[in-house]
């Protein structure tokens, strides 16, 4: 255990801190779940790319800086400390990118990763279907091989970013009559391919960030298949592991929320309950615990270790922490909690954050599914009912 940053790590922190101080927009961007907000967030991705900050851990040839996971954590800490915008690019850089690195051909890496790192192509995920939410193996959308193309048909839904994004990824049934986890194939597709219809779905907050996708005889080149035909389930599980595990939600995000919550508490101290006060203290503690754990996992992965079903522990912890912190903030705000904008015109980010935090225990695999995974794979309890 060595709890000091090296001079090189300190210099890196100073570098990113200075760059962010010079570039982060002075005013918070409007939510990326609307046209205007999406466009400004994509513009921010391209600004990040001008500093070569798109995805610091990737090899330089793919648009990264070849940095290690500790440096990535330092980057993330500074990123959230600076109040920089959320990443429009998250499905690409945190989920699909690592998946392509693991399963893609050299051609696919060269083709897809650099534009992803530069924020030129924004990715939507297309996991769920109307009949396949938590039970993703119930997927029925098809991809039929015809020559050097797959022909996609079916429907995906609740696809994050799909209202505005450029490309999407998902798994499709390539084997006629196959069941459950078998016969599925992981396919990447341009969202502007003829035959794809996007129907934006209005979300809880009233904006339209995710969408339904309808596939009607959509022709996609075989070159867009990731890994082999029929191997889609394993590839998707790896992607989901990245989603729940280390990268999607770095600790800096929650440490920043905890700090804002402490500041909010100080403003509302006179009217706050002792229970809210304890919740604020516990929020700091939990965000710190998550950070310590992430540092330990990062060091383990750097030493050649892997993160498996433990990712489910993380996902439950951060999603429930986020909801608790925002609920506490709503309590502290009292009658002002319902205002979309405060009297001074500033956006009620706690309200937006609270609404978004309610999706945390649902997306990336519901927390009920995560608890099943923990019980069955980490604790070894018997599986029942799953095919």
Q: Does 322 bind another protein (CB under 8 A)?
A: no
The SS3 assignment for 41 reads helix
Q: Report how far residue 193's alpha carbon sits from residue 218's, in angstroms, rounded to the nearest whole number.
A: 7
33 is catalytic: no
Return the residue of 40, 238, 268, 284 that touches another protein, per CB under 8 A: 284
Minimum separation from the CB atom of position 252 to another protein (A): 4
- Ramachandran area for residue 178 (φ above 0: left; ψ -120 to 50: alpha; else beta): beta
The SS3 assignment for 124 reads strand
Cβ closest to another protein, residue 79 vs residue 172? 79
Tokens representing 288 are 């710190």
Return the residue of 222, 289, 336, 349 that touches another protein, per CB under 8 A: 289
Q: Does 194 bind another protein (CB under 8 A)?
A: no
Q: Does 234 bind another protein (CB under 8 A)?
A: no
Q: Does 24 bind another protein (CB under 8 A)?
A: no
Return the residue of 256, 311, 329, 351 that touches another protein, per CB under 8 A: 256
Candidates 78, 212, 243, 352; catalytic one: 243
Return the residue of 291, 325, 329, 364 that touches another protein, per CB under 8 A: 291
Minimum separation from the CB atom of position 280 to another protein (A): 7
Q: Report how far residue 161's alpha carbon sits from residue 32's, in angstroms, rounded to the nearest whole number.
A: 9
Q: Report how far residue 122's alpha carbon sits from residue 101's, in angstroms, rounded to the nearest whole number.
A: 17
Q: Report how far residue 58's alpha carbon sits from residue 160's, in angstroms, rounded to the nearest whole number.
A: 23
Q: Report how far residue 174's alpha carbon sits from residue 111's, in angstroms, rounded to the nearest whole number.
A: 24
Minimum separation from the CB atom of position 378 to another protein (A): 6
Minimum separation from the CB atom of position 90 to another protein (A): 17
Q: Report how far residue 4's alpha carbon sits from residue 9's, in angstroms, rounded to the nearest whole number.
A: 9
Q: Report how far residue 39's alpha carbon sits from residue 28's, in angstroms, rounded to the nearest whole number.
A: 14
Q: Does 354 bind another protein (CB under 8 A)?
A: no
DSSP E strands: which ranges in 57-148?
A: 123-125, 142-146
Tokens representing 27 are 């005013």
Q: Does 386 bind another protein (CB under 8 A)?
A: no
Return the residue of 11, 18, 237, 381 that touches another protein, per CB under 8 A: 381
For residue 279, give the H/E element and its range.
helix 274-302
Question: How many chain residues interact with another protein (CB under 8 A)?
Answer: 64
Q: Which residues bind another protein (CB under 8 A)?
A: 1-6, 9, 13, 17, 70, 73, 76-78, 80-81, 251-253, 255-256, 258-259, 262, 265-266, 277-278, 280-282, 284-286, 288-293, 295-296, 299-300, 303, 310, 312-313, 316-317, 368, 370-372, 374-376, 378-384
Catalytically active residues are 243
């Amino acid at each position: 255990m060595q709890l000091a940053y090296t001079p090189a790590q300190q210099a890196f922190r100073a570098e990113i801190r200075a760059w962010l101080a010079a570039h982060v927009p002075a005013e918070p961007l409007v939510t990326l779940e609307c046209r205007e907000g999406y466009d400004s967030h994509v513009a921010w991705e391209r600004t990040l790319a001008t500093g070569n900050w798109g995805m610091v851990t990737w090899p330089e040839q793919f648009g990264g800086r070849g940095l290690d996971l500790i440096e990535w954590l330092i980057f993330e800490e500074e990123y959230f400390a600076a109040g920089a915008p959320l990443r429009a690019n998250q499905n690409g850089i945190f989920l699909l990118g690592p998946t392509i690195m693991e399963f893609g051909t050299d051609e696919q890496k060269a083709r897809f990763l650099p534009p992803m790192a530069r924020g030129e192509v924004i990715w939507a995920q297309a996991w769920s279907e109307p009949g396949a939410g938590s039970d993703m193996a119930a997927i029925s959308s098809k991809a039929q091989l015809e020559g050097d193309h797959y022909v996609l048909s079916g429907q995906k839904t609740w696809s994050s970013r799909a209202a505005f994004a450029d490309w999407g990824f998902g798994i499709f049934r390539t084997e006629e009559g196959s069941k459950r986890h078998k016969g599925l194939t992981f396919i990447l597709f341009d969202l502007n391919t003829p035959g794809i219809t996007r129907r934006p779905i209005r979300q809880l907050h009233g904006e339209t960030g995710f969408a339904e996708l309808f596939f009607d005889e959509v022709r996609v080149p075989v070159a867009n298949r990731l890994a082999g035909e029929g191997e889609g389930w394993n590839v998707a599980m790896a992607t989901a592991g990245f989603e729940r595990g280390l990268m999607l939600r770095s600790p800096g995000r929650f440490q920043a929320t905890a700090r804002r919550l402490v500041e909010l508490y100080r403003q509302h101290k006179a009217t706050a309950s002792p229970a809210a006060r304890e919740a604020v203290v516990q929020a700091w503690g939990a965000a710190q615990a998550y950070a310590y754990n992430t540092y330990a996992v990062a060091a383990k992965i750097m030493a050649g270790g892997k993160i498996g079903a433990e990712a489910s522990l993380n996902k439950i912890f951060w999603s429930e922490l986020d909801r608790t912190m925002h609920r506490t903030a709503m309590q502290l705000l009292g009658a002002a909690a319902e205002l979309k904008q405060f009297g001074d015109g500033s956006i009620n980010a706690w309200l937006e954050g609270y609404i978004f935090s309610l999706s945390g225990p649902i997306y990336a695999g519901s927390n009920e599914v995560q608890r099943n995974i923990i019980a069955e794979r980490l604790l070894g309890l018997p599986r029942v009912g799953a095919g």
